[in-house]
């Protein structure tokens, strides 16, 4: 036997939801006499606003139950997910659609005759002798969400480093642009003062003036071997 069962549920968030970043589906169930009952576990993260990189984690348990035919072996029952889709129907409502299938082996006719009459079963019986809550599965999901939270912090730090890098590159680009603009109109000469030279002879050599020399150099104690920066301005 294989039966596909559609399941639809609307999940109402505590905050507005702009977009779902990631979503996962797990399931856990127990098989009872005559039915299967359990939980779908929906978890992931979302953005509350489109203009932010911050995300929030979410996790919801959605209970489900389905009736089993009387001629199905209880120990052979399996539940699997056939299809899973979702959509944001409102700012805070996530609508999920799950098609799950229940599979099991049918009891042979002779064995089926020996089973008790279903009508003799007490309808007021307690279906859940123990909670369906699975601590191991929830622990795994919480660890998964914690890992995603750590990844978001790392991504945030990496993005911050990238932003700083881009800013530094931009600043260097501006400086380069400034230098290129200046170099297009000015050539700088490095002159080493010789023993017989004076400031007047150097000015005459480069066809410049004392004010320009003083603008780039300290010439109060000029001596042999000193280096002078001498700009040569070129008309555009």
Does any domain span residue 128?
no
Residue 26 sits in the same domain as residue 91: yes
Q: What is the CATH number of the domain that holds 217?
A: 3.10.350.10
Confidence (pLDDT) at 36: 93
Q: Which domain holds residue 141?
A: 133-184
Residue 120 lies in a domain: no
* Residue with the two structure tokens 């596909």: 4
Question: For 14-45, what is each residue's pLDDT tens digit?
Answer: 999 999 999 999 999 999 888 999 999 999 99
Cα 10 to Cα 13: distance, rounded to the nearest angstrom: 10
Q: Are residues 162 and 91 in the same domain?
A: no
In a domain, 196, yes or no: yes
Q: What are the residues whose beta carbons fall under 8 Å from the beta carbon of 137, sequence distance 6 or more?
A: 26, 28, 41
Give percent of the chain above pLDDT 70.
78
Q: Assess if residue 116 is contained within a domain.
A: no
Residue 123 domain flag = no
229 plus 153 within the same structural domain: no
What are the tokens at 195? 């023993």
Confidence of residue 219 (pLDDT cuts 50, 70, 90): confident
- Of the pLDDT bands very low, low, confident and very high (cuts 50, 70, 90), residue 57 is very high
pLDDT at 147: 83
Is residue 10 domain-shared with residue 84, that is, in the same domain? Answer: yes
Give yes or no: residues 156 and 192 share one domain.
Answer: no
Note the pLDDT of residue 126: 40
Averaged pLDDT, 153-171:
71
Chain segment 43-54, per-residue pLDDT in tens = 999 999 989 889
Assess if residue 115 is contained within a domain. no
Of 110, 141, 171, the position where a domain reaches its end is 110
What pTM was estimated for this model as a whole?
0.51
Domains identified in the chain, total number: 3
Looking at the fold, whether 159 and 59 belong to one and the same domain comes out as no
Q: Does residue 123 register a pLDDT over 50?
A: no
Residues 5 and 91 reside in one and the same domain: yes
Are residue 13 and residue 81 in the same domain, yes or no?
A: yes
Can you give the pLDDT at residue 71?
85
Across all residues in the chain, what is the average pLDDT?
Answer: 81
CA 33 vs CA 81, 120, 125, 158, 195: distances in Å: 22, 13, 11, 55, 112
**CB proximity list for 39: less than 8 A, separation 6 or greater:** 27, 28, 29, 61, 62, 63, 64, 132
Contact (CB, 8 A) for 117 and 109: no
Residue 28 inside a domain? The answer is yes
The mean per-residue pLDDT over the stretch 91-108 comes to 91
Is 111 or 51 the better-scoring residue by pLDDT? 51
């Amino acid at each position: 036997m294989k039966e596909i069962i559609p399941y639809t549920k609307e999940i109402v968030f505590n905050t507005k939801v702009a977009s779902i970043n990631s979503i996962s589906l797990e399931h856990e169930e127990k098989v009872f006499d005559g039915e299967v009952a359990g939980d779908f576990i929906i978890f992931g993260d979302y953005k509350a606003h489109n203009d932010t990189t911050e995300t929030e984690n979410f996790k919801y348990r959605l209970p489900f139950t389905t009736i089993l035919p009387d001629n199905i072996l209880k120990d052979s029952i399996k539940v699997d997910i056939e299809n899973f889709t979702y959509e944001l129907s409102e700012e805070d409502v996530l609508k999920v659609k799950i098609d799950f299938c229940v599979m099991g082996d049918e009891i042979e006719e002779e064995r089926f005759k020996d089973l008790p009459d279903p009508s003799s079963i007490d309808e007021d019986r307690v279906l859940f002798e123990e909670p369906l809550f699975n601590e191991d599965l929830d622990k795994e999901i919480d660890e998964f969400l914690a890992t995603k939270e750590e990844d978001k912090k790392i991504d945030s730090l990496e993005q911050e480093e990238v932003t700083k890098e881009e800013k530094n590159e931009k600043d260097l680009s501006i400086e380069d642009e400034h230098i290129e603009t200046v170099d297009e109109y000015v050539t700088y000469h490095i002159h080493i003062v010789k023993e017989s030279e004076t400031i007047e002879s150097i000015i005459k050599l480069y066809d410049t003036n004392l004010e320009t020399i003083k603008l780039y150099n300290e010439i109060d104690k000029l001596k042999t071997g000193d280096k002078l920066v001498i700009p040569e301005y070129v008309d555009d």
